[in-house]
Amino acid sequence: MSPKRGTKGPYMKCYLVAFGALATLPLLACGAGPDAEPAASSDSEALQVARPNPPLAISFNLITDGNVVDSLFSGVTFSCEGCGHVYARYPGRIGNAVSVMRKTAFDTPPEFDVARGVVLSTFTRLASCVSIDARGSVDPSSNSLAHPKGAPWLVAFDASGAVVGQASYTAALGQWQTLSICTGSFNIAAARFSSSTASAFPNAMLGTFDNLLFDQAPLTKPNPILPLPPSDL
C-alpha cells in the first residue's frame, strides 16, 4: 500500500450530536440487516436504550469533499494504517462518507479495502458500544468472472490492544448495513474498519463507510471538598 498525501483546504468546526442513551448490554457484535432508510436500522435502535450517558454521532456531511478529518472531531481521532490520512469523501450514505481514498482529478470513489488502507478510530474516552454504516461493492478493476471475496468489517479493541468484539457485513451488495459492537462495559478504546483481507486482492469486496456512532464512559465526579473540623481551624 502506497502512502497517500493529504489535501489542504478550509476546515469547518464540527460537533458531536447526542442521540438516545445506552444500556449495559451483553457482549454483542452484529450487523443489522439492510434497510431503506438510516432510521430503520435495528442496530441503531438497539444503541438507543436507556443509559445515563448518550452516544455520540460523527457525520461527515459538513466537511468539504476531499478534506482531511484526522483530528477534526472532538471525542475521536482518525488515522489510516499504512496510507497517511483519512478523508471526508462523497458519496456516503447521506452526503459524505469517511475514506482513506484521497480525492483526485480522476474522480476517485470513496470505496476501499485493506489493500488501500484501514481506518483506525481512537476514542478520547472509553466506550461500551460502537457502530458504523457500511455498504459492500464490487471492485471495477477485479476479474469480472470472479465472485467478490471478503466483506466490510468492524473490530473493537481495548486499551491494551486486545480484540473485544467484531462485526461483519452480511447484506446484499449495494445495500447499507449498520455494523455494531457492544461489550457491556466501558472498555472500547479504539475501532478499526475496512473491507476484505489482503489475500482477497484484486477481487476483494470494497466497502463504503459512514455515520460512526459511539458512547463514552460517564464522567466520575470528584469527592466534594469538605470544611476542616473546628479543631484544625
CATH for 17-220?
2.60.120.260
Examine the pLDDT at 217 and tell me if it is beyond 50: yes
Question: Do 113 and 135 contact (CB within 8 A), yes or no?
Answer: no
Query: What number of helices (H) and strands (E) belong to the chain?
Result: 1, 13
If you ran DSSP here, which 8-state letter would residue 68 be given? B
How does pLDDT run across 67-101, given as a tens digit for each residue? 999 999 999 999 999 788 999 999 999 899 999 99
Helix (H, G, I), strand (E, B) or coil at 38: helix
Q: Which amino acid is at 20?
A: G
Please tell me which of 45-49, 138-142, 211-215 the model is most confident about, judged by mean pLDDT: 211-215
Percent of residues, the chain, with pLDDT higher than 70? 74
More reliable by pLDDT, 222 or 163: 163
Examine the pLDDT at 59 and tell me if it is beyond 80: yes
Question: Do 47 and 182 contact (CB within 8 A), yes or no?
Answer: yes
Cα–Cα distance list, 189 to 82, 128, 217 (Å): 20, 9, 11
Domain borders along the chain are 17-220
Q: Which of these ranges, 38-47, 63-72, 88-97, 135-144, has the smallest mean pLDDT? A: 38-47
Confidence of residue 39 (pLDDT cuts 50, 70, 90): very low
Task: Tell me the mean pLDDT in the region 5-11.
Answer: 38
Residue 203: the pLDDT is 83
Residue 142: the pLDDT is 66
Examine the pLDDT at 8 and tell me if it is beyond 50: no
Examine the pLDDT at 128 and tell me if it is beyond 80: yes
Task: Tell me the mean pLDDT in the region 205-231.
Answer: 85
Q: What is the mean pLDDT of the chain?
A: 79
